[in-house]
Amino acid sequence: MPSSLEVILVPTFMIIVGLMLKRLSILESSDSKLLTKIVLNISLPALIFVNLSKADITGDMLILPVMGLLLSFMLLCTAYFYSRFRNYSKKTTWTIMIASSMMNTGFIGFPVSLGVFGNAGFLHAIFYDLSTTILFIVYGMILVKEFGGDRQDILRQSVKFVPLWAVIFALIFNVFNIPIFDLAGSILDYFADSTIPLIMLSLGLTIDFNAIGRSIGDSLFVSFVKLVLSPCIIFVILSLLHIGGMTFNVAILEAGMSTAMNALVLAITYDLDVKLMSSLIFTNVILSLFTLTAIISFLL
């Protein structure tokens, strides 16, 4: 099993490569959108399908999305009371609440779980990530009611979310033991292998150090909630329920992830505080490199 330092250093180096490519004008920040589309629509679905379609699915995996939703609700309440204490506007309050409760359990959580715990960890992470997908849909419905917008748009985005379909089809192939032809399997493997490098390069292209000075107080609050309080809460809950093993490890690791990139999609779509959301995401992505190292060291 790799050391915690190695698990963090490898993807961090890939992020730095992306940052350097942007600095050298070989790639542009806008290229991250293309890389993200490739990841979400091709390589990540392939990675999910390859692993889940042949996996031995256990009952404890079904606990993970429930734990994820419960944790997100607790973080949502924490952010709500913080915003009320600061007397923030409705728009700013929802921005902070969403940033505090939506975790990047897929885009960053998948490669980290895979790197730390291998395929078994990745499979558990897939189930945990279902909670984030559910939250994205629920928040979309709520924000339509609160701020206006097209309710059908969030449904269309959810239906078109290819990783979710990868989970559905993989479960069908798994349950009915449908074989995958060698050629198809090889093609999917090639696409799957490109997932982690593309994710990290894309993340490197999006880094903007100018954002770190914006709303530093709120950024540090959300970072504390997401990166420190969140894994501590899930640790206590799972310990009280006497849940251990891979479910315990992956739940804590995923609970310590930074804010989901889809939170920015919601902020843009429903006219929340986009600049604040960008600053919150950027700050806790950077700080998560240190907190995840500590979490991984604890779990290993």
Q: What is the CATH number of the domain that holds 51?
A: 1.20.1530.20
pLDDT at 153: 67
Mean pLDDT of 88-100: 94
Which residues constitute the domain of residue 279? 4-299
The mean pLDDT value of the chain amounts to: 86
Quick one: tokens of 258?
């930074």
Which of 9-13, 95-99, 154-158 is the least confident region? 154-158
Confidence check: pLDDT of 205 > 60: yes
Which of 88-92, 101-105, 139-143, 251-255 is the least confident region? 139-143
Local confidence band at 248 (pLDDT 50, 70, 90 cut-offs): very high
Mean pLDDT of 228-236: 96
Number of domains in the chain: 1
pTM over 0.75: yes
Strand partners, 103: 259
